[in-house]
Amino acid sequence: MNDRNKLDELDRRIAAAKAAHEPAETAESKYHQANLAWQMVIELVAGMMIGLSIGWALDWLFGTLPIFLAIFGLLGFAAGIQTMMRTAKRVQQRQAERKDQEAASAVEDPPSGG
């Protein structure tokens, strides 16, 4: 019976150690990911809308066919994609820095064996 209690205690300690080192998937991180996705969509749409607006204004000003609308619509789309990629790169850098900090703290504070 004593061995069974020791095994149960060991199982609890192992589970606690695993839980302490696993990243917690919280509702806050899920909302953060959703906000990031919406931010990227808005960046793309805003770039396109600005490009289309400039193109429409130039076409109206010069009385041309919608050539400027098409050109600036494509340029706005390209600018939106570029902004999205910049945001994604910034997020990846933050995640890499966070992993490096966690690895450094794990080396500084190794788990103690009992």
Q: Is residue 22 part of a domain?
A: no
**pLDDT (tens digit per residue) in 20-45:** 776 656 666 778 888 999 999 999 99
Q: Is residue 77 part of a domain?
A: yes
Number of folded domains in the chain?
1
pLDDT of residue 114: 47
Q: Which residues contact 76 (CB under 8 A, 6 or more apart)?
A: 47, 48, 49, 50, 51, 52, 54, 55
Q: Is residue 92 part of a domain?
A: yes
**pLDDT (tens digit per residue) in 82-108:** 999 999 999 999 989 988 888 777 776
Q: How far is C-alpha 71 from the geometric centre of its chain's CA atoms?
A: 31
pTM of the model: 0.66
Q: Is residue 7 part of a domain?
A: no
What range defines the domain where residue 47 resides?
Answer: 33-107
